Structure formats: structure tokens, C-alpha cells
Amino acid sequence: MYHRDTAEALAKKSQMDQSFRDSVATIDKKGSRNYISPKKPKGSLYNKRTIASILYLILFFGLPFIKIKGEPIFMINILKRKFILFGQIFGPEDFFIFMLGMLTFVVFVILFTVVFGRVFCGWACPQTIFMEMVFRKIEYWLDGDHIRQRQLREMPWNAYKIRKRAVKIIVFWLMSFLIAHFFMAYLISMDEVKRYMTEGIDQHFGTFVALSIFTTVFFFVYYWFREQVCIVVCPYGRLQGVLLDKNSIVVAYDYVRGEPRGKARKTEQTHGDCVDCAACVRVCPTGIDIRNGTQLECVNCTACIDACDEIMTAVNRPTGLIRFASEANVVKGEKPRLNARIVGYSFVLLSLAGALAFMLASRDDVDVTILRTSGTVFRELPDGRIANVYNARLANKTREDIPITLQLEGIRGEIEVAGGSIVVEKEGYKTATFIIRVEPAEIRQRRTPIRIGVYEKGINIKNVNVTFMGPMR
């Protein structure tokens, strides 16, 4: 157990070298890209990450093959405006559910980040999983560990380097090609991708173009752009400054324990526990030194924790010099605790999740919108009844055709549908025009609110309120 004194901790922090703020790890002194070749990580957390990423990859490559009633379990077909989530079909008319779902997701991410920092990035983000657990592993296999990679990069072009680079480009391109196909399957379904593959490019030129673009983008990202996605492009990393507080759990260097850093000695220990070996820096995929504190480049991959634990074990000191910890934990040894922000976000998240669950549970199979036909006025019929014309728009969210009948509720009159009947095809839309004729005794004012019952196979599935126009009496 280490003695933690707030004043002493802050004094140690203020004495730490701040020159890291003058440069970015991925840009060298000449302003060129500094390619990061991290040492291959190893350790218990890396093993756990490997298992987590295998499960993730099984899900990513397996889900497009799973179908419910002949439809994919997940599909986000923007062009056809058809979305399937967990087998449920959503259309443009469900946009508000989609927006609420997005809002709930954003609040969840915020809450998760406030409490657990950026752990999502290192352990669940597709970019990091594919970069660190797929392409980086392939790179270690093809080019060797970090030192051999650097030697290869710095050597002049010769037959060996050309062969190495050519093999890497081909393998990375093929992997990108494969991922692009599965990515495409989430957009248009695996059946469509298979059809494209068997029927050829000429019949599916649009799909071919999309696949080529996706393949090129993935190749560019994983071969060249790499950690820049997290540092420069991803907005989430930039939000850390406002989302994290002193109680957020992040990958943190325990400077109270570690400083002042200095080489290990066989006799007495004259420094803190950090032996300044830079093992934590060598494994970092974004090239930063976590001893400088939480930085937006840190994707919480935990490779530095494994690296430091190995060193601590070797020099016979307790592990956990770099660990998951909050600033409050490092400074005062405090355990994570609830604060007003966490309670507030939790309340908002629970409210949104409740509203979303209610909307999903009460979601109808058929969406109905009824409006009086614009530009029409009421008509007084020869038999004395009053007639209005309406348009209905119906959306069928199921995988079966649905016959629909309309009926007036609580008012004497009749509905006559143009064409006789309404059948909404599966996953389709239908517009119908109909006339409502009402007994004159029911109409006492210019605008009378009336209710139309919508029936599926004789069962009332919903009621729609509309306005019926009539003469003033």
C-alpha cells in the first residue's frame, strides 16, 4: 500500500516533463508522418482482448448468414429505405424510433465513457479490432516484430523489400475485399451479395462499384492511415476532454507510485517504481507515453498495462503501476463512486430506454395515415347524406400481405373504398382513396371530428381521428 498525499501527488505531477505537449507522436520533427510500429503486445489483458475480438469477428462474419423468416437478422438498406434490426422490419415511418434509438445509444456511450473512459475504443470499436487484432497480427506474421518492421521501412528498395511489400499489399487488399463483402451484406443482405457473385459484374454494376469503393477505403485505412482514424478523424476521442472527470476509470499511470522515475538498482531503491524502461511506449499503437497522463490518442487498448506489469514482475515490484484507475484513485487511493453527473446521465438513459422499449412494444404491424383529400369540399348527396373524400397511406411492416377494412366508429354512415378493397402487400406500401358518407343528422357544425376504425381480418388494429366537413346548421 502506498502513502497517498494530495499535495505531494499534485507536486509530483507539476514536476513532470510537459515537453510532450509540443509534438504529436505520429508527426516527426520535419513535419512528416512518423509511422508507428508498436512492439507486439503480450500478457493477460492482450489474451483477453484476443478472445473478445475472436467473438466479435465470429459475430461480424456470422450475422449476415442468420435469417428470420427468410430475411437477414440485420440489414441497413439505405437505398431501399428498409431497415431490419433483430428481425424486426423498420421503414421511413419509424424514423422517430430510429432517432430515439440513436439518442439512447449516444447517452449510453456518454454514460459509459463518464464511468469507464474510452474502453469501448480498445475493446469493441470495429476500427481497433480490425486494425490491432486482424491487420496488425497479419503484419507481425508477414514482416516480423517492431524492430524488423522498422528495418524494412528504412532499408533502400531492393528485391527483398519489393517482395515483402507486394505480399503485404496483396494480403491486405484481399482482407479488405473480404471485409467489404461482409460490410455490403449488412447493407443489402448476404443473398444479394451472393447473387452479385454468381451473376457477374455486368448485371450488378452498382454493387461492384460500391464494393470497389469499400475495398479501397478499408485498404487505405488499414494499410496506411491506421491510428490516424482514432487521432484525427474519430470525433469520439475529441470528446474525452468534456466526458472524463477525475472519477472516470481510464488506463492511467500511477505517478504517485512511479515518480520520480529512474533506473532500477540492485541495492536500495532511490526512485519511484517506474524504471523508465519505455516498454509501455514501445507497445502503444498510437505512439504515446501514457506516463504523460490521459491523452486523446489513448484508445485504452491496455497494451501498456501488460507491458508494465511484465517489467514490474521482472524487477520484483507490485504490478499495476499502469492500470485501470481514476485520477482520484491515483491521487488519494479513492475507489470509484457515484457523482451527480453519473446519476443524471443514468436517469436520462433509463427514461430514454423506457420510452424506446414502450415504442417498440406498442409498434403496430400496419402504419396508417388518413388525410382529407386536399382541394376537395364536402358534397350534399341527393339522399341528403354528406360526403367527404379521403386518402389513406398504409405501410405493412410484416412479411405477410394484410387485407384491411375501414369502418366508421360511433357515427352513422358508410365508407366506400375506390377499387373495393385494400390489401397491403408484405413490407409494402398502399395508398387508397375512399368516400365517407354520413347521415345529415350527425353533422351539426362545419368541422366534425370522426373516428375511423382500421380492421385486419375483422380485428380492430387501430383508430384514426379525422375531421369531416359539412354545412353549418
Residue 303 beta carbon to ligand SF4: minimum distance, rounded to whole angstroms:
4
Residue 326 beta carbon to ligand SF4: minimum distance, rounded to whole angstroms:
15
Closer Cβ to ligand SF4, 20 or 455, answer by number: 20
Do residues 359 and 101 make contact, with C-beta atoms less than 8 angstroms apart? no
Closer Cβ to ligand SF4, 229 or 355, answer by number: 229
Closer Cβ to ligand SF4, 279 or 406, answer by number: 279
Write out the DSSP string of 5-60: -HHHHHHHHHHS--GGGG--TTB-TTSSB----PPPP-SHHHHHHHHHHHHHHHHH
Question: In the chain, how long is the greatest CA-to-CA distance?
Answer: 113
Distance separating alpha carbons of residues 215 and 222, to the nearest angstrom: 11
Residue 252 beta carbon to ligand SF4: minimum distance, rounded to whole angstroms:
10
Distance separating alpha carbons of residues 282 and 449, to the nearest angstrom: 73
Closer Cβ to ligand SF4, 87 or 262, answer by number: 262
Distance separating alpha carbons of residues 240 and 250, to the nearest angstrom: 11
Residue 461 beta carbon to ligand SF4: minimum distance, rounded to whole angstroms:
53
Closer Cβ to ligand SF4, 253 or 378, answer by number: 253
Residue 159 backbone phi and psi in degrees, to 5: -60, -40
Residue 320 beta carbon to ligand SF4: minimum distance, rounded to whole angstroms:
10
Residue 341 beta carbon to ligand SF4: minimum distance, rounded to whole angstroms:
23
Closer Cβ to ligand SF4, 244 or 279, answer by number: 279
Query: Whose CA is closest to 325, among 242, 258, 251?
Result: 251
Closer Cβ to ligand SF4, 191 or 310, answer by number: 310
Closer Cβ to ligand SF4, 301 or 328, answer by number: 301
Please count the helices (runs of H) and the strands (runs of E) in the chain. 18, 16
Binding site for ligand SF4 (CB under 6 A): 251, 253, 258, 261, 274-280, 283-286, 288, 290-291, 298-304, 307-308, 311, 321-322
Bridge pairing between strands 429-438 and 386-396: antiparallel
Residue 44 beta carbon to ligand SF4: minimum distance, rounded to whole angstroms:
15
Cis-peptide, bond into residue 126, ω within 30° of zero? no
Closer Cβ to ligand SF4, 94 or 306, answer by number: 306
Residue 371 beta carbon to ligand SF4: minimum distance, rounded to whole angstroms:
56
**How far is residue 76 CA from its own chain's centroid?**
13
* C-alpha distances in Å from residue 425, one per residue of 3, 84, 120, 400, 403: 72, 17, 42, 7, 9
Residue 274 beta carbon to ligand SF4: minimum distance, rounded to whole angstroms:
3
Q: Using H for helix, E for strand and C for coil, what is the string for 59-123?
A: HHHHHHHCEECCEECEEEECCCCEEEECCEEECHHHHHHHHHHHHHHHHHHHHHHHHHCCHHHHH
Three-state DSSP at 253 gives strand
| Residues forming a β-bridge with 371 | 391
Is the sign of the CA dihedral 458, 459, 461, 466 positive or negative?
positive
386 CB burial (10 A radius; 0-12, 13-18, 19+): buried
Three-state DSSP at 344 gives helix
Query: Whose CA is closest to 244, among 364, 117, 358?
Result: 117
Residue 289 beta carbon to ligand SF4: minimum distance, rounded to whole angstroms:
8
Closer Cβ to ligand SF4, 71 or 289, answer by number: 289
